[in-house]
C-alpha cells in the first residue's frame, strides 16, 4: 500500500553503526552495508531512522548538489521559517524506519501552489511510499556534513546493530 508521510524535522542526528552479518546470509557488496543511521526527529513524538551505507551517503550528497542550482531567491519572510514539531495525541510515539531505495531533495522555492520556504527530503521505499521531511537551511548543512562523514568513513565506531534491528518497524 502506497503512503506518503510528511513532517517538519526539529532535530537531526547521525549515529554510526557496525553491521553484523547474519551467519546464514550472503555478505553485501562492499560499500553497501549500513554504516550509519540518520535520525530525524519532530518534537518528542516522531522519529525517522534511515540506515545508510557509504555508497548511499555519496548518492545523497549528489542529490543535494543537483538541487542547489534550483534554489530560488525567497522573500525575507521565508528566511525566518522554523519547523513545527508533530503533536500526536495521547502520548503516541511513531518511529518510522523505511527500507530506502531512493531519495530526492527539493530546495526552497516559489511554486504555482505557493511558497515552499524549506528544503524537502523525500525518502522512497520499495512500494513507492514516501516519507517527506521539511528541514531548515541550518539543518540541511548538518545533514550534508554528516553524509560526508559517512561517505568518507569518518564517524566513530558505534555499537553493533544486527540487520533485523534496522528493518522497518
pLDDT tens for 14-46 read 998 877 777 777 877 877 788 899 999 998 888
pTM score of the predicted model: 0.82
Q: Are 116 and 109 in contact (CB under 8 A)?
A: yes
Q: Are 157 and 42 in contact (CB under 8 A)?
A: no
Q: What per-residue confidence (pLDDT) applies to 163?
A: 40
**Of 47, 35, 38, 49, which Cα lies nearest the Cα of 158?**
35
Count of structural domains within the chain: 1
Q: What is the pLDDT of residues 91-138, one digit of tens each?
A: 778 889 888 899 999 999 888 888 888 999 999 998 889 999 999 988
Cell of 22: 547474519
Q: What is the pLDDT of residues 62-87, one digit of tens each?
A: 999 999 888 877 777 767 788 998 87
Backbone dihedral angles phi then psi of residue 77, each to the nearest 5 degrees: -65, -25
**Cα 167 from chain centre:** 15
Note down the domain range covering 64. Answer: 4-166
Amino acid at each position: 500500500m502506497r503512503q506518503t508521510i510528511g513532517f517538519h524535522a526539529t532535530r537531526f542526528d547521525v549515529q554510526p553503526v557496525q553491521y553484523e552479518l547474519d551467519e546464514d546470509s550472503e555478505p553485501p557488496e562492499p560499500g553497501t552495508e549500513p554504516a550509519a543511521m540518520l535520525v530525524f526527529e519532530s518534537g518528542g513524538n516522531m522519529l525517522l531512522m534511515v540506515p545508510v551505507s557509504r555508497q548511499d551517503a555519496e548518492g545523497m550528497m549528489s542529490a543535494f548538489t543537483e538541487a542547489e542550482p534550483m534554489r530560488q531567491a525567497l522573500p525575507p519572510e521565508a528566511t525566518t521559517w522554523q519547523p513545527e514539531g508533530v503533536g500526536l495525541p495521547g502520548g503516541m510515539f511513531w518511529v518510522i524506519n523505511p527500507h530506502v531505495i531512493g531519495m530526492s531533495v527539493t530546495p526552497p522555492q516559489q511554486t504555482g501552489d505557493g511558497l515552499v520556504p524549506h528544503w524537502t527530503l523525500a525518502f522512497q521505499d520499495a512500494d513507492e511510499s514516501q516519507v517527506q521531511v521539511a528541514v531548515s537551511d541550518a539543518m540541511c548543512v548538518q545533514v550534508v556534513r554528516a553524509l560526508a562523514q559517512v561517505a568518507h568513513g569518518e564517524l566513530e565506531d558505534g555499537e553493533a546493530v544486527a540487520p533485523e534491528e534496522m528493518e522497518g518497524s
